[in-house]
Amino acid sequence: MTEQDVAEPKKILFLFSDTGGGHRSATEAMIEALELEFPGRFESSKVDFFREYYPTPLNRAPEIYPPMSRVPQAWGLSWKASNSRSRTNVLNDLSYPYLRKAAKRLVRENPADLIVSVHPLVNSHLARAMRKSPRPFITVVTDMVSTHAFWYDRRADLVVVPTEAARQRGIRFGIPAGNLRVIGLPVAERFRQPLPDRDAWRRERGWRTDRPVILVVGGGDGMGGVKRMAKALNEADLEATLVVVCGRNEALKEDLEAVDWALPTHIYGFTREMPAFMRASDIMVTKAGPGSISEAFLCGLPIVLYARLPGQEDGNVNYVLDGGAGVWAPRGGDALATIRHWVDNPAAREVVAEASRRLARPDAAHQIARLIAEQVGVLP
């Protein structure tokens, strides 16, 4: 390693888009881990390629995504219809002439020693735009199990996946086994840190300390039946405290604030305190998003999954069930029966919590940071 290598930070470009919360949070977790592992050795930047570079109407994708995902049947049909190697090849071939200038401008205006993609819909276009570039290109897959063919482009130098099932799908879609790494989903450092004093943290926010806390979330956009689940829990006469996070869904927050709650209940909008919320809770009720599930594993939470995106999140449900970390309960009655059992039986709840902890991959972001360092010569 030369003095010049030490003096000049390596430039890493992360490509993501705010079509769902997981792409941005995974990107930020990797940037954080790079700085923790290699202070001052990397200069990281992130670009929302849809919003900042792609033409209309694709530049509206972050705004279009939430209403689209609220129609799960249509989402599932489109996901399944396009999910094959041959079909994605056709779609990429058809779309590239329209996106070629944007993709090349993206590469040209963002010089970097390495590019990391955390979104399935940029990979093929990026690989074509970089055809004559010597820079390495890595894909970090942020879906957990049911990974779409769009994720897997054979021109990527490496493809990092969160589970063995995702690795097997990568092989099926044409990625050489040697170019796949099973590491896990990158999650922010603060999810790895326990609360110094859980009861004190609860008291500061007015949460009761003598009852289990049920945390109900629906992702950053407050999707997936949060209102239905919260109201069902309120009517169940549980010896518990209810905490509901509505994300950016202001209408949902206003609706829930108007409810006459029978349980001790706390309603929040978008918050950056989710790591502490999870650490201070005992049960998590959520849709089957990969980010929320991975975070729940790190915090050792029993999980009730009440909604999923067909196709894309089907495998997540099976992964949680097969690992003993929670239940699939799309009907309110099923969810309530499980939650009541966990509330009334702390020992049974702890068995599921321990299973959740076993599925966690707390070092994933740091392992990916070291992999990036190897690719650009910071590590031998």
Same structural domain, 197 and 265: yes
Q: Is residue 55 in some structural domain?
A: yes
Residue 336: inside a domain = yes
171 and 119: one domain?
Answer: yes
* Same domain flag for 76 and 35: yes
State whether 116 and 169 are in the same domain.
yes
Maximal C-alpha separation, the chain: 67
- Residue 6 scores a pLDDT above 70: no
Q: Is residue 1 pLDDT above 90, yes or no?
A: no
The verdict on residue 255 lying in a domain is yes
Rounded Cα distance between 267 and 380, Å, is 49
CA-to-CA distance for 32 and 43, rounded, in angstroms? 11
171 and 243 inside one domain: no
The three state secondary structure string of 235-274 is CCCCCCEEEEECCCCHHHHHHHHCCCCCCCEEEECCCCCH
Domain holding 61: CATH number?
3.40.50.2000
How high is the pLDDT of residue 283?
98
At 279, the amino acid letter reads R
How many distinct structural domains can be found in the chain? 2
Q: Residue 349 falls within a domain, yes or no? A: yes
Residues 341 and 241 in one domain: yes
Shared domain check, 312 and 196 = yes
The C-alpha atoms of residue 55 and residue 51 are separated, in whole angstroms, by 9
> Would 122 be classed as within a structural domain?
yes
Range with the lowest mean pLDDT among 9-18, 62-71, 76-85, 353-362?
A: 62-71
- pLDDT, residue 223, reads 59
In a domain, 380, yes or no: no
Tell how far CA 281 is from the center of its chain: 20
User: Which residues have CB under 8 Å from 254's CB, separation 6+?
Assistant: none
Both structure tokens of 173: 């879609």
- 9 class by beta-carbon count within 10 Å (0-12 exposed, 13-18 middle, 19+ buried): middle
Do 104 and 7 belong together in one domain? Answer: yes
Residues 116 and 180 in one domain: yes
* Omega within 30 of 0 (cis) for the link into 57: yes
257-263-269 Cα angle (round to 5): 35
- Beta-sheet strand order (sheet of 326-328): 265-268, 241-245, 213-217, 283-287, 303-307, 326-328
Same domain, 9 and 58: yes
Residue 157, domain member (yes or no): yes
The tens digit of pLDDT for each residue in 217-255 reads 986 555 558 888 998 999 998 999 999 999 888 889 999
Residue 332 CA to residue 307 CA, distance in Å, equals: 11
Q: What is the mean pLDDT of residues 306-312?
A: 92
Per-residue pLDDT tens over the stretch 253-272: 999 999 999 999 999 998 99
User: Where in the sequence is the domain holding 210, given as residue range(s)?
Assistant: 191-359
Judgement on whether residues 230 and 354 belong to the same structural domain of the protein: yes
For residue 148, being part of any structural domain is answered with: yes
**Per-residue pLDDT, 224:** 58
For 75-99, how does the pLDDT look when each residue is reduced to its tens digit (9 = 90+)?
899 999 999 999 999 999 999 999 9
Q: What is the reported pLDDT for 35?
A: 97
Give residue 219's pLDDT. 64
Same domain, yes or no: 177 and 300: no
